[in-house]
Structure 1
Amino acid sequence: VGGTDRSVTILEVAAAAFRPGAMPADIEPGLYEVGTFAPQYWNWPTGVQVCELEIDPETGETQIVNFVCVDDVGTVVNPMLLKAQMHGGIVQGIGQALVEDIVYDADGQLITGSLMDYCLPRADDTCNMDIISAPTITISNLIGAKGGGESGPTGALPATINAVVDALKPLGVNHIDMPATPQRIWQAIQTAKASAA
């Protein structure tokens, strides 16, 4: 308490603040704080991903034939773990782009609630991936590292779905919703053919 030798701990203040009966009538119970973190230096990772794939126009089946990822995550502390993190993230992004679909019925009941109904990518759904590091050391921390966990799936989604649209463009398809399942791809091809006729 200002101007006295009396004090209370922050825990006592917090406990009192959440007891409505202990608060004056004109003060709402609770203790809240808002802060802003404004670092002197930012350290976002950057990168680029390219997906090469083939689509069978008769079935809508997609086969990824090549995937390249170049990332700048600053100082690479453990190259093997970074590549593993990138591989896993890229496969996650490919899965979201091509096969993973959350489906509800007309009553709002989830019908893809188990792995019997919800498709995840498997090893044979992908290909060999070239993971290349192009580090630019950041000055925002002592080791010069940036985050590497989000780079894989963040770039894989647009790289994969844009590769699908690019492959379908000669057939008259300019857009496809994710996930670009074989059924959706086949239907988009049929719709484009019917529109062209």
Structure 2
Amino acid sequence: ERNAESAIEALKEYEPEIAKVVRQNRPGQIQRIKARELVPGDIVEIAVGDKVPADIRITTIYSTTIRVDQSLLTGESVSVIKHTDPVPDPRAVNQDKKNILFSGTNIAAGKCKGVVIGTGLNTEIGKIRSEMAATEVEKTPLQQKLDEFSEQLSKVISVICVAVWAINIGHFNDPVHGGSWLRGAIYYFKIAVAL
């Protein structure tokens, strides 16, 4: 569980804090807002050195190319060239989505503009975080077997305690206990629990 928690914390470090948004009420002006305030449909401008604030569909590339370091998400060791062309396969994996900038990745070269298509837990990195958080709740097969074993063991021990106490009912009135049935019952209850 600690590993999952530390992995989730590490993923939080990749969340961008600021986004440069083009607002429709102020054409041509860029407004800097907190990345968590982005909503799908916002138009965002991203340049070299920026951390991508959300999952974004590229609409315009201002430089000759746009390169993205998305090793965090896909494990690719080199930066990936992105473009504006549509991806023909709707079931394409993240590595093949060359027209999408993924939240938390870094722009290695170039400048572009795009439309936000996913924020928060609806981004690819957010989906990974959700899956990691969900796996914390599930018990491993070993934990399940240990739980079953401890449950069975406690039942067996309870039966043994009751059996030891019941076997000694005839000895409750022994003079050793001062002839008191209650003292004898308590004494043999202690013996049964001690076993």
Identify whether the pair has TM-score above 0.5, normalized to the shorter chain: no
Larger proportion of strand: 2
TM-score tier after normalising by the smaller chain length: under 0.3
- Which protein shows a greater Rg? 2
Scaled by the length of structure 2, what TM-score is found?
0.22
* TM-score under structure 1 length normalisation: 0.22
The structure whose RCO (Cα within 8 Å, separation 6+) is larger is: 1
Q: Which structure has the highest helix share of the two?
A: 2
